[in-house]
Amino acid sequence: MYDDILIPTDGGEGFGAVLDRAVEIAPDEATVHVLYVVDDRAFLTLDDEMKSEVLEDLQAEGTDAVGTVADEVEAAGLDAVTAIRRGTPADEIVAYAEQEGVDVVTMGTRGDDYTQNILGSTAEKVVADASIPVLTVDLS
């Protein structure tokens, strides 16, 4: 059984399909961790003032994203825990899962060309690096 399930979100469309899969595998007493990672690669070349503005915007986007998913998790009758981290998304997802004792990661993939890119780059790296199962849901 999966008592602790991680749903990483980027705030984009499609989290409903990921949430549906997470709820399917979750026992009634499960905790769903909802994680948003502020991708600091997005603003490494900006000056300090612009970097601060972008970081503030991304933090706000992350707060909205995890709040929306957490509300849906709780509406499904499960406990939700939210977190926002900063770094490279795949690395932070794997680190969070290890640090929090997560049993499975459930995440969306957006591979545009199935023959060349079965998984999105973040999902691909999480699948490769995680020591726990990763359930991927095709969002394309």
Q: What is the pLDDT of residues 39-82, one digit of tens each?
A: 887 777 777 788 788 888 889 999 999 999 999 999 999 999 99
Q: Residue 32's pLDDT band (boundaries 50, 70, 90)?
A: very high
* Predicted confidence (pLDDT) at residue 114 exceeds the cutoff of 60: no
Mean pLDDT of the chain: 88
E runs forming strands in the chain: 4-8, 31-39, 79-87, 104-109, 134-138
Helices (H), 34-120: 48-75, 89-100
In the prediction, which pLDDT does 63 show? Answer: 96
d(C-alpha 6, C-alpha 126), whole Å: 12
- Kindly tell me if the per-residue pLDDT of 130 is higher than 90: yes
Class of domain 4-138: alpha beta
Residue 35 predicted with pLDDT over 90: yes
**CA 108 → CA 4, 11, 43, 67, 138, distances in Å?**
18, 11, 24, 18, 6
Q: Residue ranges of the domains in the chain?
A: 4-138
Give backbone dihedrals phi and psi of 119, rounded to 5 degrees, phi first.
Answer: -120, 150
